[in-house]
């Protein structure tokens, strides 16, 4: 439904309402608006891609070079897939033929595990400029009980476009707004399924926390108006930053006290917000806390904050992480790099500082992964993830490390390494076939498989390509 149709539905509903248009008992504009939204939803178009059924027959991949990521590549390798898992992988001698299996012969091709986008809003946003399609955050500063998985739109047109370049798994994460401190929990999803339940690989991965910017000198002008009342802009900004940090600390203090009380007395009344945070305080396998922090003061604060509350910390963004890399390595704090294709954080930095960040972290022994910015704008371009890794490779990161940075390393950081990130026996058969190096923009992804099911490569862009190819074919035929 386009805008004119939407407004027509809205006006018709209001005009035909049996209630007067004003006064008591009249239908409100709000109610009419909601009914109109229902009208719009009834005719909204979903992606026409139909998810295939679960794998029902073994698949034997032969002839291709298998890039295992976790070990050596296997030229002319063989991989047996059954019931969505890799059953065997190796040379021709190690993996014999299986009677009844479908044989997929791929001479000269390359097979890689699906790339993992570790910082996205995929499924939570469709059109950035249309507020009704953006569901990345709840209102309010503290929403630890918000779950990203249940908001994932399986019919998003961005999903087929993303997986067409080998990105087959993504972390759908709540995106903190300017007023948000605790945004909720993220979910690891595979990019195919009828609904969010089928797409969920790990329903709850980690708690996402946002820190206010601490660059007071460069941001003081934002608070200039408030400064006319309470002093200089810098002092006002520092006051507001400290206020937000106190709110965050108080929330974790309350959640920790609630957890201790609940463990001592299970009959304690349940508070949905603090109940959702209990997993981060577990002694065994605590749920990670993803803290968005680019600036050095933010990263230092996050380290102190994690030590104070004994949290399993993951830094997201991390543009200044190289400045404190030895401490991050010592504490084994992973960094999910929030985009390589970006400008330096400061005017005086080298122009290629973001390009060299991955290599610097690797050299310092800091666990890391490469992702994109994770904003609502970035969701439409998650397919460019391998090219972010390629840029890091061109600026000092070894090729094997660049591939691991978007496969095995994010799987390890997100706690999914037993299922994803490499081609190994027992892992999900989530992989793609290409005609060359996927870090090279000239390479084509030719086939994709998610848990052993081959997924069509058709998406909105390919459909539009075919449409306009036909248009100009007809125009050309008319001229003749």
| CATH number of the domain within which 375 lies | 3.20.20.140
CA dihedral 74, 75, 76, 79 (to 10 degrees): 20
pLDDT tens digit sequence for 192-218: 999 999 999 999 999 999 999 887 544
What's the pLDDT at 194?
95
Strands 335-338 and 313-317, bridge-based pairing:
parallel
Report how far apart, in Å, the C-alpha atoms of 312 and of each of 58, 208, 261 are. 40, 12, 21
In whole angstroms, what is the distance from residue 404 CA to residue 430 CA? 15
* Domain extent at residue 373: 116-211+280-410
User: What's the average model confidence in pLDDT over 34-58?
Assistant: 65
Token output for 170 = 């993504």
What's the pLDDT at 225?
44
Could you tell me if residue 126 is inside a domain? yes
What's the pLDDT at 216?
58
* Among candidate residues 296, 308, 377, the one with its CA nearest the CA of residue 335: 296
* Edge-to-edge strand ranges of the sheet holding 78-82: 85-90, 78-82, 59-62, 102-105
* Among candidate residues 119, 174, 129, the one with its CA nearest the CA of residue 149: 174
Contact between 412 and 161 under an 8 Å Cβ cutoff? The reply is no
In whole angstroms, what is the distance from residue 465 CA to residue 49 CA? 16
Could you tell me if residue 360 is inside a domain? yes
Strands 187-190 and 182-185, bridge-based pairing:
unpaired
What's the pLDDT at 18?
41
Contact between 291 and 314 under an 8 Å Cβ cutoff? The reply is yes
What's the pLDDT at 45?
53
How many C-beta atoms lie closer than 10 Å to residue 288's C-beta?
22
pLDDT bracket for residue 480 (50, 70, 90): low
What's the pLDDT at 370?
98
User: What's the average model confidence in pLDDT over 257-278?
Assistant: 94
Answer whether residue 350 shows pLDDT above 70. Answer: yes
Could you tell me if residue 467 is inside a domain? no
User: What's the average model confidence in pLDDT over 3-15?
Assistant: 42
Could you tell me if residue 417 is inside a domain? no
Could you tell me if residue 450 is inside a domain? no
Which of the pair, 180 or 16, is modelled with greater confidence?
A: 180
Burial 450-472 (b: 16+ CB within 10 A, else e): bbbbebbbebeeeeeeeeeeeee
Could you tell me if residue 79 is inside a domain? no
Could you tell me if residue 162 is inside a domain? yes
What's the pLDDT at 33?
45
Which of the pair, 227 or 166, is modelled with greater confidence?
A: 166
In whole angstroms, what is the distance from residue 152 CA to residue 123 CA? 4
What's the pLDDT at 320?
96
Mean pLDDT of the chain: 87
What's the pLDDT at 231?
54
What's the pLDDT at 339?
94
Which of the pair, 228 or 183, is modelled with greater confidence?
A: 183
Q: Which of 155-159, 213-217, 426-430, 467-471 has the lowest mean pLDDT?
A: 213-217
In whole angstroms, what is the distance from residue 474 CA to residue 461 CA? 20
Answer whether residue 86 shows pLDDT above 90. Answer: yes
User: What's the average model confidence in pLDDT over 4-29?
Assistant: 41
Give the side-chain half-sphere CA count within 13 A for 23.
3
* Among candidate residues 47, 189, 62, 46, the one with its CA nearest the CA of residue 122: 189
How many structural domains is the chain composed of? 1
Could you tell me if residue 315 is inside a domain? yes
């Amino acid at each position: 439904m386009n805008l004119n149709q939407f407004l027509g539905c809205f006006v018709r509903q209001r005009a035909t309402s049996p209630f007067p248009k004003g006064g008591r008992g009249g239908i409100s504009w709000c109610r009419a608006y909601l009914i109109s939204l229902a009208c719009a939803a009834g005719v909204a178009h979903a992606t026409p891609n139909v998810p295939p059924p679960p794998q029902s027959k073994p698949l034997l991949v032969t002839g291709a070079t298998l890039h295992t990521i976790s070990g050596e590549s296997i030229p002319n390798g063989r991989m047996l897939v059954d019931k969505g898992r890799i059953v065997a992988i190796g040379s021709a001698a190690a993996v014999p033929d299986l009677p009844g299996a479908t044989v997929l012969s791929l001479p000269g091709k390359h097979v890689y595990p699906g790339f993992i986008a570790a910082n996205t809003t995929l499924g939570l946003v469709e059109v950035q400029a249309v507020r009704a399609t953006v569901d990345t955050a709840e209102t309010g500063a503290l929403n630890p009980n918000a779950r990203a998985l249940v908001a994932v739109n399986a019919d998003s047109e961005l999903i087929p476009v993303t997986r067409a370049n080998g990105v087959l798994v993504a972390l759908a994460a709540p995106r903190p707004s300017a007023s948000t401190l605790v945004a909720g929990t993220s979910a690891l999803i595979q990019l195919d399924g009828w609904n969010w339940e089928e797409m969920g690989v790990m329903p709850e991965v980690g708690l996402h926390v946002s820190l206010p910017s601490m660059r007071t000198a460069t941001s003081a002008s934002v608070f200039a108006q408030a400064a006319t009342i309470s002093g200089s802009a810098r002092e006002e900004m520092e006051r507001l930053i400290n206020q937000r940090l106190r709110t965050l600390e108080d929330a974790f203090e309350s959640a920790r006290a609630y957890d201790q009380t609940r463990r001592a007395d299970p009959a304690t009344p349940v508070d949905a917000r603090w109940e959702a945070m209990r997993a981060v305080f577990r002694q065994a396998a605590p749920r990670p806390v993803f803290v968005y922090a680019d600036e050095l003061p933010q990263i230092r604060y996050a380290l102190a904050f994690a030590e104070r509350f004994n949290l399993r910390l993951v830094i997201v963004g991390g543009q200044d992480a190289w400045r404190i890399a030895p401490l991050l390595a010592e504490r084994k704090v992973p960094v999910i790099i929030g985009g390589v294709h970006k400008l330096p954080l400061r005017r005086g930095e080298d122009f290629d500082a973001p390009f060299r960040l991955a290599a610097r972290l690797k050299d310092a022994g800091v666990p890391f992964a490469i992702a994109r910015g994770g904003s609502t704008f970035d969701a439409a371009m998650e397919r460019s993830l391998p090219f972010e890794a390629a840029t890091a490779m061109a600026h000092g990161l070894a090729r094997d490390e660049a591939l691991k940075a978007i496969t095995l390393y994010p799987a390890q950081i997100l706690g999914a390494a037993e299922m994803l990130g490499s081609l190994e026996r027992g892992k999900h058969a989530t992989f793609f076939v290409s005609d060359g190096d996927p870090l090279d923009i000239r390479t084509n992804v030719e086939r994709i498989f998610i848990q052993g099911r081959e997924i069509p490569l058709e998406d909105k862009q390919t459909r539009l390509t075919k449409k306009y190819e036909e248009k100009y074919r007809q125009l050309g035929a008319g001229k003749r």
